[in-house]
Amino acid sequence: MSAKTLVVILGATGTGKTSLSINLAKHFNTHIISADSRQLFKEMPIGSAAPDINQLNEVKHFFVGSHSVHNYYNAGRYEEDVLKILEEVYLKKNIAIMCGGSGMYIDAVCRGIDYMPEYNKNIRDELTAEYDANGLDALLEELKKVDSNYYHEVDKNNVQRILRGLEVYRLTGKSYSEYRVQNQKERPFNILKIGLHLDRELLYDRINSRVDSMIQDGLEEEAKSLYPFRHLTPLKTIGYREWFEYFDGNISREKAIELIKRNTRHYARRQITWFKRYDDINWFEPKFYEKIILFIKDNSDYSHKKP
């Protein structure tokens, strides 16, 4: 086993990943790499449930507020960037913490992804215009025809993933699935996956309460400030598109809040389904902090170097 270990804290939204990861990072005197495809955008701190300023001051985080919604970013670039950062972290630490619920970003680092064609602005603009004019169902029908494997796997509400699948096909004539890695890449560090799970009723209560807290913290105002950029792919997501519908006069404010809660619960279910595909995840309830600490110590070289 490598002396270096990447501890991956994963699970559905609302399971307490952020708090646990901060406590673990403090215990092991190390840093946190966010694996959340939305928290990396600096304009979306409330809607993405990014760590707040106090949490960021407690532990060094990477990929939180590090990019702009105006700049394209994908899982391939994330893989490259994280591997470079881990090289630096492992010069002083034997353990690094990764925290997030974006399955594709976690897979990019843990399994690797094959070469993917770069973002093509013209094709993406064309697809975005089709989405705005005809809705998501039309794009899903096209995806089903050109890449049925990806169609049956992709989150049907994740506009960015759907646009990316069609973009690759229109650019290259090959399906997105053909580019995806078939075999796990070797990594020069041990990977220890810890999944957090909660009773579904409790999870849904926590999600609903968190949405209420986000609104109190200014989610509506954050969405309003981003409304002029609603055509950007990162903003076609839960917590923003519902507000945009309200701002457009299509639904009431109460309906927007109801939809954010409902869509977030649905998203949590899809995350659970994604992670259940893997047999290398060790599942815990978040309250069993001491058990998680012992598990990490038993399965890694935790005699970390001091900086």
* Domain locations in the chain as residue ranges: 5-113+184-217+276-298, 121-179
- Enumerate long-range contacts of 284-289, CB under 8 Å, 24 or more apart: 284/194, 284/195, 284/196, 284/197, 285/196, 285/197, 285/198, 286/15, 286/16, 286/17, 286/19, 286/20, 286/196, 286/198, 289/20, 289/23
pTM assigned to the model: 0.82
Distance, in Å, from the CA atom of 50 to the CA atom of 38, rounded to the nearest integer, reads 9
> What's the token pair of residue 234?
């990162």
Looking at residue 182, what is its pLDDT?
A: 60
Backbone phi, psi, residue 218, to 5°: 110, 25
Task: Evaluate whether 5-113+184-217+276-298 and 121-179 have a shared fold.
Answer: no
Backbone phi, psi, residue 225, to 5°: -70, -25
CATH class, domain 5-113+184-217+276-298, is alpha beta
pLDDT along the chain (307 residues), means of 10: 86 96 97 96 96 95 96 90 97 96 92 76 86 89 91 82 88 82 81 96 97 97 97 92 97 98 95 91 94 93 45
Give yes or no for a contact between 139 and 166, defined as CB atoms under 8 angstroms apart: yes
Looking at residue 72, what is its pLDDT?
A: 87
Looking at residue 153, what is its pLDDT?
A: 80
6-37 b/e (C-beta count within 10 Å ≥ 16 → b): bbbbbbbbbbbbbebbbbbbebbbbbbbbbbb
CATH class, domain 121-179, is mainly alpha
Looking at 32-112, list the stretches that DSSP marks H as alpha helix, in order from N- to C-terminal side.
53-58, 75-89, 103-110
